[in-house]
Amino acid sequence: MRRVYLDHAATTGVDRDVLEKMTPYFSDTFGNPNSLHSFGREAEKAVTSSRDAIAKLLGCKPNELYFTSGGTEADNWAIKGIYTAYKNKGNHIITTKIEHKAVLASCQRLQKDGAEITYLDVDKYGTVDLEQLKNSITDKTILVSVITANNEVGTIQPIAEIGRICKERGVLFHTDAVQAIGAVDIDVKRDNIDLLSLSAHKVYGPKGIGALYIRNGVKCDRYISGGSQERGMRAGTTNVPLIVGMAAAFEKAVLNSEENNKKLIRLRDELIQRIEAGIPNSYLNGHRINRLPNNVNFCFEFVEGESLLLMLDMQGIAVSSGSACTSGSLEPSHVLSAMGVPPEIAQSATRFTFGRENTMEDIDYVVECLKKNLMTLRAMSPLFKQEKGDAKHV
Amino acid sequence: MYSQKVMENFANPKNVGVIEDADGIGTVGNPTCGDIMKMYLKIENDVITDAKFQTFGCAAAIASSSMATQMIKGKTIDEALTITNRQVIEALEGLPPKKIHCSVLAEEAIKLAIEDYRSKKKT
Ligand SMILES: Cc1ncc(COP(=O)(O)O)c(C=O)c1O
Ligand SMILES: [Zn+2]
């Protein structure tokens, strides 16, 4: 059976070149970079050159980068570390209603400790309101955290403008760029970013490795206590092969971004166009232009997302559904809710995220299967009023 | 996550559709809170001779509808009323804990359809 992976926003497979670069650091060059002997020095050299490479891609200094276990840890560290370090100055944090759970749950945790959190609204395309941001900043505000590009609907935020506003008002700015690396042009100095979260596995790097950029001069509490790794800020024996893999993956993603993105945008726009032209009662979620090059997200009225996902899965197509009917009541995606999508429509949200290996033929197959499955599920749905002989209804 | 039996009933659900001259119809759930199930029964001399369903919902809801309609066909309405969601789950070889409520809908839809039949018969 044909298999089409369209869930690259969930994770990607490790690129063969990346894997090749990582491999020697598992068994051959296995030293602990903290050791003074030659084994340690060899490993340290690899970590240093990886750090240098990533710093160059982001426009920061190598000593502003701290390796973490992934994007989740980087987000937790940024939010909690800044709060601890600055809570005597103020207890107010501004974020948005469409952050990744790693940021939202960290903020909710801090609320229990006395933090005040403002969750900014978004418009129907998922873009934050800069006026609301400006009006929300008070003398108690210490941090603004806005996701660079949303993982569900792909909307890209005006990061440089947010950075400028934060700089003018003297508050720190954190952004979760996990989905954005390679897709969005990022320069932390130019864009006035104080903290930035990264993860390797969304761009063909290994899982379980990420990084937090913390601008020099920003006080951020250490997150994991122990040894002196990461300049005393994040203890734990350095994961050399994964760091090497992350640097290689980021380099490939950023240095080839123009070419990659051009190809992805062609696939993305073709799928959007084919769905809109061929499938009635389908609604694109997210911004049409300010959108991740690989992201397509649609609601298909009268069907439920999980059913569609499983039907596509039986045909070898891997997608992601935004909703899950769990624990007795439906929990529609917090992102779609914030965008004002009604719950009964949000329930059908389906995300298709492209990657390097996808082709136009994949789109032919996906559209064909989508039409067939939607016809089946809609015919089964008591919500769908079939008008017999009306070809407009799929 | 789902058992083989659930996937079979989801991939090839039995008794999907509408009975135009149904003797009892039961609808449960609503679109804002999750799954919706509409159950149609054909009943002769208090025996369920046909059952069909329409479901908007997850795989567990569709599989439960398919299994429940199969279980009640040929049963008297009193027998059908004793069928619980536990029995539907058993017949499906289990459901994930988070999906138990989806099978409750099938039990409730059958009960409502039979109630509908009885109230129509009285008048
Ligand atoms: C926007 C965003 N932030 C954070 C994460 C978490 O990253 P990780 O899987 O490396 O913990 C993800 C991925 O799930 C993501 O999409
Ligand atoms: Zn369900």
For the residues of chain B, what is the DSSP string, one character each? ---HHHHHHHHS-SSBS--TT-SEEEEE--TTTS-EEEEEEEEETTEEEEEEEEEES-HHHHHHHHHHHHHHTT-BHHHHHT--HHHHHHHTT---GGGHHHHHHHHHHHHHHHHHHHHHHH-
| Torsional class of A132: left (φ above 0), alpha (ψ -120 to 50), beta (otherwise) | alpha
Known catalytic residues of B are 33, 102
Sequence letter at residue A361: E
CA distance B61 to B10: 9
Residue A210 beta carbon below 6 angstroms from any ligand 1 atom: yes
Q: Verify whether residue A107 is a known catalytic residue.
A: no
Structure tokens at A43: 């490993």
The architecture CATH gives domain B4-122: Alpha-Beta Complex (3.90)
**Predicted pLDDT of residue B123:** 67
CA distance A8 to A12: 5
**Predicted pLDDT of residue B30:** 77
Q: Which of B66, B61, B88, B6 is nearest to A314 (CA)?
A: B6
Pairing label, strands A116-120, A141-145: unpaired
CA distance A37 to A29: 12
Provide Rg for chain A, Cα atoms: 22
CA distance A245 to A210: 11
**Predicted pLDDT of residue A124:** 98
At residue A56, the 3 state secondary structure works out as helix
Contacts of B3 in chain A (CB under 8 A): none
Domains, chain A: 4-11+257-392 (3.90.1150.10), 16-255 (3.40.640.10)
**Predicted pLDDT of residue A69:** 98
Closest chain B C-alpha to A322 CA, distance in angstroms? 13
> How many angstroms does the Cα of residue B87 sit away from the middle of ligand 2?
17
Does the ipTM exceed 0.95?
no
Residue A71 beta carbon below 6 angstroms from any ligand 1 atom: yes
CA distance A333 to A99: 11
Residue A106 φ then ψ, to 5°? -65, -40
Burial of A144 (0-12, 13-18, 19+ CB in 10 A): buried
Quickly count helices (H) and strands (E) in chain A: 13, 15
**Predicted pLDDT of residue A393:** 40
CA distance A304 to A351: 13
CA distance A101 to A300: 25
**Predicted pLDDT of residue A326:** 55
Site from B56, B62, B99 to mutate, A interface, most A CB atoms within 10 angstroms: B56
Residue A149 beta carbon below 6 angstroms from any ligand 1 atom: no
Pairing label, strands A317-318, B47-56: unpaired
Q: Which residue has the tokens 């039409």?
A: A371
- Is residue B13 within 8 A of residue B37, CB to CB? The reply is no
Q: Quick one: average pLDDT of B105-117?
A: 96
How large a percentage of chain B has pLDDT more than 70?
A: 98
Q: Return all residues near A156 (Cβ < 8 A) that are at least 6 apart.
A: A148, A149, A180, A184, A287, A290, A291, A292
Most distant CA atoms of chain B, gap in Å? 47
CA distance B108 to A105: 36
- Is residue A141 within 8 A of residue A120, CB to CB? The reply is no
What residues pack around ion ligand 2 (CB closer than 5 A)?
A 325; B 35, 57-58, 60-61, 102
**Which atom of ligand 1 lies closest to the CA of A210?**
10
**Does residue B118 carry a pLDDT above 70?**
yes
Provide Rg for chain B, Cα atoms: 13
**A264: DSSP letter:** H
> How many angstroms does the Cα of residue A251 sit away from the middle of ligand 2?
43
Q: Which of A6, A7, A16, A5 is nearest to A249 (CA)?
A: A16
Ranges under pLDDT 70 in chain A: 323-330, 386-394
- Is residue A298 within 8 A of residue A350, CB to CB? The reply is yes
Pairing label, strands A4-5, A317-318: parallel
**Does residue B7 carry a pLDDT above 80?**
yes
Mean pLDDT, all residues of chain B = 94
Q: Quick one: average pLDDT of B47-73?
A: 96
Residue A40 φ then ψ, to 5°? -65, -40
